[in-house]
Structure 1
Amino acid sequence: MRKNNWAMALALAVLLPLTARADEGMWLPLFVKRLNHADMQKKGLKLTAEEIYDINNASLKDAVVQLGGFCTGEFVSSQGLLLTNHHCGYDAIQSHSTPQNNILQNGFFAATKAEEKKNPGLFVDILVRMEDVTGKVLEGITPATPEQERMATVQKRQKELADAAKENGQYVAYVRDMFGGNEYYLFVYQRFGDVRLVGAPPEAVGKFGGDTDNWMWPRHTGDFSMFRVYADKNNKPTATPQDGNVPYVPKKHLPVSLQGVSEGDFAMVFGFPGRTQRFLPAAGLQLTLDQTNPARIKLRDTRLKLWKEDMDRDPALRLKYASKYASIANYWKYFIGQNEGMKRLKTVEAKQAEEKALADWIAQDPARQQQYGEALSTINQAYAGIRQYNLSVQYINEGAFGTEIITLASRLMPLYMALKATPADKAAIQKAAADLKEPVAEHFKDYSAPTDKKVFAALMSLYQQDVPKDQLPDVFQTVQKQYGGSMQKYADYVFSTSFLTSQAKTDAFLAAPTLAKLEADPAFKTMNSVYTSFTQNILPTMQGLQAGLGRANRLYVAALREKNAQKVYSPDANSTIRLSYGTVRPYRGRDAVSYDYKTTAQGILEKEDPSNPEFVVPQKELALLKQKDYGRFADKNGNLPVAFITDNDITGGNSGSPVINGRGELIGVAFDGNWEAMTGDLAYDPELKRCINADIRYVLWCVEKLGGAKHLVDEMTIVNNGPNPGVGPQTSASAAAELGDVEKMKVKTDKGGKTKIKRKKEDAAAGM
């Protein structure tokens, strides 16, 4: 494209969203007023755009946090009380459990703040602001800019912008690309490193249905846990838990509604969706279908079965491996569902048709041909090359590094490099060894060498069997020559000889590390062989293919957006804050099978099976449900609501996200998607895609009635107290009213373009 056409394209990209209609998507809250607000109002939103996202005043964005970098949570009180999913808190709950005090199994609710449990390493990030910095990142870059030069310039500017926004460590900041590198956004957060476990229901409630019900509707799972964020006495974050810290006072917390939901009600989900790939081309989809997902499924299935065999035999081991098992099993089932969905919905074929139409459109104009003409062919060539090495990559990630001993060995690489350095630097060696003390202790706390040995033999055998022979690391030649190709015999040798099978042996090595001993360790030798083979024989080729693919993808996405000027595309999820909006809505799953939009406690009783660990109902809950002791949490028909579904667009990372009604009140907690729409990360299906949510009334019933922790419910701001209260809708202002003080921020830009933030304390309810 000639320079003037390039400038016109940039202008068009800015103007298009002003007139286009917003469809499905996970939207950046920065643009809610321009892109989404009118459509949201039509669906039932009563809030102003500023009540959703405002940099200068408390808004919904201040009530939503990213938990640990992997989940979402929301403030539900003025004392920093945080609600998220049970599976998001699972690792923390398990870490505080012992065979003598198994709170994972029995549940736990702190009676006082002094009983709340610290979790070193767990943090929350709260958004301060976000900014479109596309112009700053891409200034002076044109289609003629060489790709390597472009990449270096972009990375440098991303780092500079992020570093400046951190304000000497006061904030966490980063710049993320959107639309394949066509746009760039700065995100600035406050990070709080003192997050304490407040409560969780018994695992039989929080994980009711287990793997059988996972990714399924209807659901009857109380998938929630509670934490509290702590700050210093000035309400500022600390990097780690501190004894002098006090509960954080958030700028905003969500009022909790007991009014319930009806079909067609507005629903908004606010959170941090992890990753979608809706611009993935047909060749990438085909690779996922043919190679990537089948490899992941096969290797995870093998690991899970071996873990479960030992977990079923040993209750103590079950507790140790509970969190690891749940984490691996979740996406094992997801990959199965995604492949089934891609075949059923013909996702690859639909993308191929879209690409053909795009190719025809490009061919109709010489300027388009000049700018976009090689994009699709480059993409297809790159994926043809990637396909040759993709199995190796998957078997390294899910096979070799699916064994815990290999993962631990990889952690020793910084120490290995320090030991190899010439001349020797004793201080660097001592630091590298000291840095390993905590990770090693954490590893062995939940580790079984005999179990890992079985996994090692099985996964490495599959690696040996399935990966092209010319891509196998040298260690497999050793297995063939010295052990007759028997991976079981090699596993016997590794686990009987390596010091990495025992914390005592590993600690002894770290106390006096030597290069000779590390290089002689068979577990480390195995890891290093895999790592060296990858970095020398596979990575360089893959990087070359990916470099060309990156540019082609960027052009492909730009061409799609230019061609379909009538559509507003939302950027793919990338763990940055987003909102989605929709309605409470049932669906038809398949021929002659229709699903209601809600479930009740009656379904728990119908599913109850004392002989099946996935469907055991705790005795106390069973008694309460049979007595219909629902209290104020019953719906207008006298039933206890458990879950409901909406057509909100979500993905992994949205776990724990608040589901918010049109008045800005919390009505549920998002925790899953439905089986029929497992292709949602690749292609959104408005008829099938559903977000599964724990009804907030069931959550509160579990806290107050089942858990005996009414004091936590009393801490919240409860509105619409009871079913069908007979009063008109609250105004958005009253629903948004908060307790206590909040910080108001005034954002100004100086002459040099540097953003400055001024703060002043102001009562949240004032002027509302």
Structure 2
Amino acid sequence: MKKTLLSLFALLVATVSTKADEGMWTLYNLPQAVYEQMKAEGFSLTYNDLYYGDHAVKNAVVNFSGYCSGVVVSPNGLVFTNHHCGFEAIRSHSTVEHDYMLNGFYAKSYEEELPNENMFVSFMIDQQDITARMKKLGIDEVSLEKQAILIDSIQKVLNDSIKRIDKTLHVEVDPFYEGNSYYATTYQKFNDLRLVFTIPKSMGKFGGETDNWMWPRQTCDFSVFRIYADPKTNGPADYSENNVPYRPKHWAPISMEGYKEGDFSMTLGYPGSTNRYLSSYGIREMRDADNAPRAQVRGIKQEIMIRHMRADEAVRIKYDSKYAQSSNYWKNALGMNKCIDSIGIIQQKEDYERRIQAWMDKTGHFKGQLDFDQMKRDYEKSFIPSQTFTYLWESFGRTNEFCTRAFRVNYGMPLEGPENNPKKQYFVFKDNSEEWDEALDKEVFAALLKNYKEQVDTKYLPDFYKEIQTKFNNNYTAYVDYLYKKSFLMKSGKKIYPNKKSFKKDPGVQFGMQLIEAVFGLREEIKDAADAIEKQEKLLCAAKLRMEADLPHYSDANFTMRLSYGQVGGFELGGKPSGFYTTAESIVEKMKKADENVEYFAEPIMHELLSAKDFGQYTDPRSGKMQLCFLTNNDITGGNSGSPMFDGKGRLIGLAFDGNWDSLSSDINFDSRLARCIGVDIRFVIFMMDRWGQADRLLREMGLKK
């Protein structure tokens, strides 16, 4: 019997080995077979060193402000993340006179470190499976809307309980495996996060959109922040001048030894969203109803933005972050659709669904429940309203300041004034003119109004399109000028009383009300099909798990901490090897092409530093070069930006910042031949802090300089 079990275990490990580079694994229940495979590939730490105890590797990894990942690298709470994750913080502190985005920033003392409103880091403390509890409460029998209410209520109960033990902790409940499981995760959140160091944008975003999602890369994509804590408790505290640098339980040691091809590599971070259990029908909708309209609308918006940004430095500072966020997923949408078609992912999914159907027919499992024909009909029902919703939201959701205010004043903006006297309650928009430019804003607004009408069925046009036609003869620029001039929404500092008769007569308020009516109308049209689709997709995932019960499975990403592992190495495309690292010579070669492409511009000092004949301790002992960026087959997605890349000893060797163009469909289908994680070599990071920033105090803090 023992011999049989060992044979089965060996078979399981062998099966895992064929997909050793795929998987976003939760840590608390990491399958033994996965851990054994990690060890076979070069991971030398114990499981306790990974997850349990004060000095576990996971204790150095943070959720960075709810959209990225990061890693603590010093006993005084220094955090490394990507430059593009710190982009908005860097931009918000920049002015024309002190342009930290353009020139970089280094705080030479604690007092010079810059606080950041609405930024935070969270540490994952613990995670537990609460599926049985959720099923007992009937989570499987209610609509999506009621599921959300039930999850919120359970989350509140768990938070009330945990805060009686420790007020600094909070619990979040998330669905896993398409809602077939539920986990409760305990976090500790620190709200006082300060900017410490950033290099110039020329290096932090070297190559811009030209190189985004591409390989080879030379981007030095990092920024440095510090966590501050209550001086008495070393715990979370809101910003105060009295707060002190946080003393973490564990921080990641930095390796200056580098890596070689085939070396073990591990990322820990917070991947945002994947859809690898999604049906063929869902992928078709993603391609045509989500990605295609998103790319189409953003292409129009970005052309206008970049034209204004290049014409005015003050405008560039205001929109640098907005443009980067928009263009990143514009290009992602284009690349994903290209891969869906070129790889034939929909056909692959259809073939797999036929296998599941054959298995159901043979075993009787899920008979009368999972119905692919019904799933197809539900997706057909939701397609047009879903596509229209994407067009609407991409056109009017946070695309310009006027639309943002029009939404907020009609939905969700908090009132000020006496609580017991509604007539004296009011809204007020603070002066945020440093965040937007009127000329750019208005041109984008007019262009997207026109484009939305051209892209959707007339029945989905909000009522203001009748006014544009009758009063403005379809002159969208004139309509936008009218709104900005006549509406009180754009009068910052003005008190807006929603209980006065004049409120609903305001053209901006009317515009917002009609937009919200359109949003809720589309949601209502989608809702019934969405509930039915969710149930079928959930059953499809459950069927896969049941059919392949002898294999370990990971859940789709949902911005909870995940581990991925694999090896350092490149890929082949069309018979050509990619190489697995870039060198200083390659960035200098691109810098010399700045006259042809402004995104390859770098300051003279960068040319000088990266043209050095001797890079000293930053020279890789194997290649004899200073290596800048490198490839691994770690499984990552959006949200993994800033994730630490560890070697087999748990030492930091890089920061993940991108995937590659050839595998942008990996969110729905991981292709082990092509999918790669692009990371910035930690030695390149330290080189820039040392040679350009002369940040000796930070290097000493990290134990890298005496």
Separation (CA, whole Å) in 2 of partners of 1:365 and 1:492: 66
**Counterpart Cα distance in 1 of 2:403 and 2:62:** 34
Give 1:683 shift.
Answer: 0.7
Name the counterpart of 2:95. Answer: 98
CA-CA distance at 1:634 after TM superposition: 1.2
* Cα drift, residue 142 of structure 1: 9.6
1:68 aligns with 2:65: yes
Supply the distance in 1 between the matched residues of 2:422 and 2:16 (Cα, whole angstroms).
Answer: 57
Q: For residue 12 of structure 1, what is the aligned residue in structure 2?
A: none
Q: Which residue of 2 aligns with 1:619?
A: 604
Give the superposition deviation at 1:183.
0.6
User: C-alpha distance in 1, partners of 2:689/2:466?
Assistant: 57
In the TM superposition, what is the alpha-carbon distance from 1:367 to its structure 2 partner? 4.5
Flag the 1:217–1:19 CA change in 2: closer, same or farther, 3 A: closer
Aligned partner letter, 1:591 = G
Evaluate the alpha carbon distance shift between residue 148 and residue 534 of structure 1 in structure 2; reply closer, same or farther with a 3 A threshold. Answer: closer
Q: Retained in 2: the 8 A contact 1:137–1:158? A: no
- Alignment check: 8 A CA contact 2:422 2:499 kept: no
- Within-5 A mapping of 1:566-605: 566-588=550-572, 590-605=573-588
**For residues 542-598 of structure 1, what are the alpha-carbon distances to aligned partners after superposition, in whole Å with 9 as ceiling and x for unaligned?**
12111112221211110111112233221000000111000001101x213321001
Q: Secondary structure at the match of 1:506?
A: coil
- 1:644 corresponds to which residue? 630
Match for residue 469 of structure 2 among 480, 505, 517: 480
2:269 counterpart of 1:271? yes
Given candidates 479, 501, 508, the residue that maps to 1:490 is: 479
Q: Which amino acid aligns with 2:457?
A: P
Query: Deviations for 1:66-102, whole angstroms, at most 9, x for unmatched residues?
Result: 1110111101100001100000001001111111111
Secondary structure of the residue aligned to 1:82 is strand
Q: Which residue of 2 aligns with 1:746?
A: none
Normalising to structure 1: TM-score of the pair? Answer: 0.85
Q: Match of 1:523?
A: 508
Q: Which position in structure 2 is the counterpart of 1:610?
A: 594
Aligned residue in 2 for 1:551:
535
Distance 2:614 2:606 in 1: 10
Report the CA distance between 1:305 and its aligned residue. 0.5
Q: 2:362 matched to 1:379? A: no
Equivalent position to 1:300, from 298, 301, 326: 298
Find the aligned partners of 1:125 and 1:417 in 2 and give their Cα distance.
26
In the alignment, structure 1 residue 465 sits paired with structure 2 residue 454: yes
Letter in 1 for 2:599: E
Q: Which amino acid aligns with 2:463?
A: D
Offset at residue 33 of structure 1 (A): 5.8
How many Å apart are 1:716 and its aligned residue? Answer: 0.8
The 2-side partners of 1:670 and 1:142 are apart by: 36
3-state DSSP class of the match of 1:160?
Answer: helix
Structure 1 residues 427 and 195 mapped into 2: Cα distance closer, same or farther (>3 Å)?
Answer: farther
Structure 2 letter corresponding to 1:561: L
**Quick one: distance in 2 between partners of 1:467 and 1:399?**
12
Cα separation, 2, equivalents of 1:697 and 1:19? 35
CA contact (8 A) 2:415 2:425 kept: no
Q: Is the 8 A contact 1:127 1:188 kept in 2?
A: yes
Report the Cα offset of residue 613 of structure 1.
2.4
Deviates more, 1:282-291 or 1:28-37: 28-37
Q: CA deviation at 1:659?
A: 0.3
The alpha-carbon distance between structure 1 residues 17 and 627, as it changes in their structure 2 partners (threshold 3 A), is: closer
**Closer, same or farther: CA 194–560 of 1 in aligned 2, 3 Å:** same
Shift of 1:124: 0.6
Contact persistence 2:151–2:173 (CA under 8 A): no
Q: CA deviation at 1:674?
A: 0.3
Structure-2 separation of matches of 1:73 and 1:563: 37
Quote the Cα distance in structure 2 between the aligned partners of 1:301 and 1:35: 45
Q: Is the 8 A contact 1:20 1:566 kept in 2?
A: no
1:92 maps to a residue whose letter is A
Cα drift, residue 158 of structure 1: 4.5
Rounded Cα–Cα distance in structure 2 between residues aligned with 1:550 and 1:116 = 47
Change (3 A) 1:707 1:410: same
- 2:213: which partner in 1? 215
Cα shift at 1:289: 1.7
Q: Which residue of 2 aligns with 1:42?
A: 40
Letter paired with 2:291:
N
Contact 1:267 1:659 in 2 (8 A): yes
Structure 1's 414 and 400: CA in aligned 2 closer, same or farther, altered over 3 A?
A: closer
Q: C-alpha deviations, 1:39-79, integer Å up to 9, x for none? A: 1001100111111101x432111100011101111011000
> 1:416 touches 1:515 (CA, 8 Å); kept in 2?
no
* CA distance in 1: counterparts of 2:362 and 2:224, whole angstroms: 57
Change in 2 beyond 3 A, CA 1:367/1:62? closer
Aligned to 2:4: none
The aligned counterpart of 1:393 is 389
Q: Does 1:259 align with 2:257?
A: yes
Letter matched to residue 662 of structure 2: E
The answer to whether the 8 A contact 2:203-2:220 is kept is yes
Q: Distance in 2 between matches of 1:577 and 1:17?
A: 25
Q: Give the match for residue 84 of structure 2.
A: 87
Distance in structure 2 (CA, Å) of the matches to 1:34 and 1:432? 58
1:368-447 to structure 2, matched below 5 A, reads 368-370=366-368, 372-374=369-371, 376-401=372-397, 402-414=399-411, 433=427, 437=429, 440-441=430-431, 443-447=432-436
Unmatched segments (≥5 aa) in structure 2? 1-10
**Deviations 1:194-232 (Å, cap 9, x if unpaired)?**
000000111101000000000001100000000000001
Aligned counterparts, 1:237-256, within 5 A:
237-256=235-254
CA contact (8 A) 1:418 1:432 kept: yes
Q: Amino acid of the residue matched to residue 405 of structure 1?
A: F
Aligned amino acid, residue 682 of structure 1 = I
Aligned to 2:545: 561
1:147/1:540 Cα in 2 relative to 1: closer, same or farther (>3 Å)? closer
* Gaps in structure 1 of 5+ consecutive residues: 1-15, 722-768
The answer to whether structure 1 residue 195 and structure 2 residue 180 are counterparts is: no
Q: Provide the C-alpha distance between the structure 2 equivalents of 1:308 and 1:155, rounded to a whole number of angstroms.
A: 41
**Alignment check: 8 A CA contact 2:273 2:638 kept:** yes
Q: In structure 2, how many angstroms separate the alpha carbons of the residues matched to 1:107 and 1:147? A: 50
Read off the aligned partner of 2:648 and give its amino acid letter: G
Match of 2:646 among 632, 648, 660: 660
Q: Which residue of 2 aligns with 1:740?
A: none
Residues 221 and 367 (structure 1 numbering): CA distance in 2 closer, same or farther, change over 3 Å? closer
Structure 1 residue 140 displacement after superposition: 6.6
Match for residue 628 of structure 1 among 588, 613, 636: 613
- Asked whether the equivalents of residues 204 and 220 of structure 2 are also in contact (C-alpha less than 8 Å), the reply is yes
SS in 2 for 1:477: helix
8 Å contact from structure 2 (residues 106, 695) kept in 1: yes
How many residues align? The count is 687
**1:516, distance to aligned residue in structure 2 (A):** 3.4
Q: Deviation at 1:523? A: 2.6
How far apart, in 2, do the equivalents of 1:367 and 1:90 lie? 50
1:363 to 361, 364, 372: 361
Secondary structure (helix, strand or coil) at the match of 2:636 reads: coil
Change in Cα spacing, 1:355 to 1:326, as seen in structure 2 (3 Å) is same
Greater Cα offset, 406-415 or 65-74: 406-415
When structure 1 is superposed on structure 2, of 211-220 and 387-396 the one drifting more is: 387-396
Shift of 1:163: 4.0
Give 3-state SS (helix, strand or coil) of 1:368's partner. coil
Matched, 1:690 2:673: no
Query: Letter of the aligned partner of 1:101 in structure 2?
Result: H
**1:168-187, aligned counterparts within 5 Å?**
169-187=167-185
TM score, norm. by length of structure 2:
0.93
Distance in 2, matches of 1:538 and 1:399, equals 15
- Asked whether the equivalents of residues 24 and 636 of structure 2 are also in contact (C-alpha less than 8 Å), the reply is yes
2:108 is aligned to 111
CA contact 1:414–1:432 (8 Å) conserved in 2: no
Match 1:451 to one of 440, 456, 479: 440
Q: CA RMSD in A?
A: 2.5
